[in-house]
A = this chain, B = another copy of it.
Amino acid sequence: MSFDPATLVYDANGLIPCIAQEEATGEVLMMAWMNAESVARTLETGRVTYWSRSRQSFWVKGESSGHLQELVVLRVDCDRDCLLALVRQTGPACHTNRRSCFYTALRDGEEVEILQPMAG
C-alpha cells in the first residue's frame, strides 16, 4: 500500500508527535512534532525534519548544531496519530548536550539525573 502523509491523523494544529529512537541501541532520544510537509521532507531527504512549534518553522534536526538525525526507517502506529523514527544520531540529541532528552528519572518521589552532558 502506497504511503501518503495526508492519511496520518494530525491534531488541531496540524501536528503529529514523532518519537526518535537510536537504531543501534534502542535508546529513546526525544519526541518532537511534525506536520505533513515535515513527514514528506523527512522521507525525501533522509534527515529527520520536525516542525518547531516555538519558531513556527521547519527544523532539520542538527542543521545548525551538526547533531543530525539520519533516518533509518519511519514507522506509523495503529491509530496513525504517532510516528516512530529509527535514527542514527550524531552526537547529543538534546539541546542540553545530553545524548537523550529523557535524562531525569523519578525514583521514590525524587528527580534523579541519570545522564551527564556529553564532552564536546
Task: Please list the residues of chain A having a beta carbon within 8 angstroms of any beta carbon in chain B.
Answer: 1-3, 17, 19, 21, 25-28, 30-31, 43, 73-79, 82, 84, 94-96, 98, 101-107, 109-111, 114
For the complex of A and B, 10 pairs with smallest distance between CB atoms: A26-B26, A77-B101, A75-B102, A84-B102, A1-B111, A76-B104, A31-B82, A78-B101, A74-B106, A3-B106
- A25-B26, A28-B21, A31-B19 known; A3+B73 contact, CB < 8 A: no
Taken together as a complex, chains A and B put the C-alpha atoms of A70 and B3 apart, in Å, by 35
A78 partner residues in chain B, CB cutoff 8 A? 94-96, 98, 101, 103-104
- A19-B19, A78-B96, A78-B101 known; A106+B1 contact, CB < 8 A: no
